[in-house]
Amino acid sequence: MGKYAFGVDIGGTTVKLGLFDNIGQLLDKWEIPTVTDNGGAAILPDIAKSILGKMKEKDIEKADVAGVGVGAPGAVAEDGMMVGGAVNIGWAAFNLKTALFNLLQMPIMATNDANAAAYGEMWRGGGAGTPNLVAVTLGTGVGGGIIVNGDLLVGAVGGGGEIGHIHVEACEEESCNCGNKGCLEQYGSATGLVRIARRRLAADNRPSILRQGELSAKAVFDAVKEGDALAIEIAEKFGDYLGKGLAIVACVANPEVFVLGGGVSKAGEILISYVEPYFQKYVLPACRNVKFSLAVLGNDAGIYGAAGLILNARR
Ligand code: ZN
């Protein structure tokens, strides 16, 4: 096995890259911009150039590199195929693994970005040492990565773990980004929390700190910490939806740990105190014994997980 591995996390505005040693220690990390023009045609060549440049800088030979793991913002099948492309960065359907291999001639592992983050958290983060784990990223959307017996649940075309699109509300009028109505992501994300807050504030004239300043997930949880009654109601509703969605996930994947990450998780332990009681209300009793923890790797979870997929690959 090589002495090094690279982990790459492709985001909408930047690509994060990390150089790891073969026991998974991060030696160096850096970022390059994600150029989405022309259907994102420059993204992979830019990544390849950046990796080859780093190898030159550190005097690393190709034979010393175990491979490159890459996480992308779209569904990625086991063989690297992205049947739906990656809309945010301009990609149409293609095989990510093959395309990056053609540029680098090194072993490649490709997966969805939320799956990479989940793998990172299992391997080096908030779920360290737990082979049955679900990582939930609460950001603009709700991302999920499901790990069963140490392996990512990828599914037929890479749609495994897309827990943000579990149907949790029959009466929703607005559409989710996926085209359906009533998805978990419409309530359980940072954006969803703001939607719940906006609707609650419009319902009557009760006083609240949230009536001043800009509404955000942070503003809601800050107001909860101040004891604001309306903010607490909003957080309860948010927790109800998220608890319900995760109870469904628990009946399918039966994890030992839920690791909560993404922007909303910056609220801290208070987030768990609003989600866990509803999870316990809805979950199958046999699947009840689940620990909730907060993600610890932050923005580095994706590069850790992508490199981990290479270093832990069964050959
Ligand atoms: Zn949806």
Q: Tell me: the pLDDT tens digits for 252-298?
A: 999 999 999 998 999 999 999 999 999 999 999 999 999 999 999 98
Instruction: Give the pLDDT score at 32.
Output: 98
Both tokens of 148, joined, read: 């069963």
- pLDDT tens digits for range 159-212: 999 999 999 999 999 999 889 999 999 999 999 999 999 999 999 999 999 999
CB within 5 A of ion ligand 1: which residues? 165, 176, 178, 180, 183
Ligand 1 center from residue 141 Cα (angstroms): 9
**pTM for the full predicted model:** 0.90
Provide the phi-psi class of 155: left if phi over 0, else alpha when psi is between -120 and 50, else beta. Answer: left
- pLDDT tens digits for range 104-130: 999 999 999 999 999 999 999 888 789
Neighbour count for residue 129 (Cβ, 10 Å): 9
- The answer to whether the Cα torsion of 227, 229, 231, 237 is positive or negative is positive
Ligand 1 center from residue 175 Cα (angstroms): 8
Ligand 1 center from residue 212 Cα (angstroms): 31
Q: Are 275 and 242 in contact (CB under 8 A)?
A: yes
Burial (CB < 10 A; 0-12, 13-18, 19+), residue 294, is middle
Instruction: Report the alpha-carbon distance of residue 96 to residue 85 in Å, rounded.
Output: 9
286 CB contacts (<8 Å, ≥6 apart)?
none
Both tokens of 292, joined, read: 């909730």
Place of tokens 């440049």: 53
Instruction: Give the pLDDT score at 217.
Output: 96
Instruction: Give the pLDDT score at 314.
Output: 57
Instruction: Please give the mean pLDDT across all residues of the chain.
Output: 95
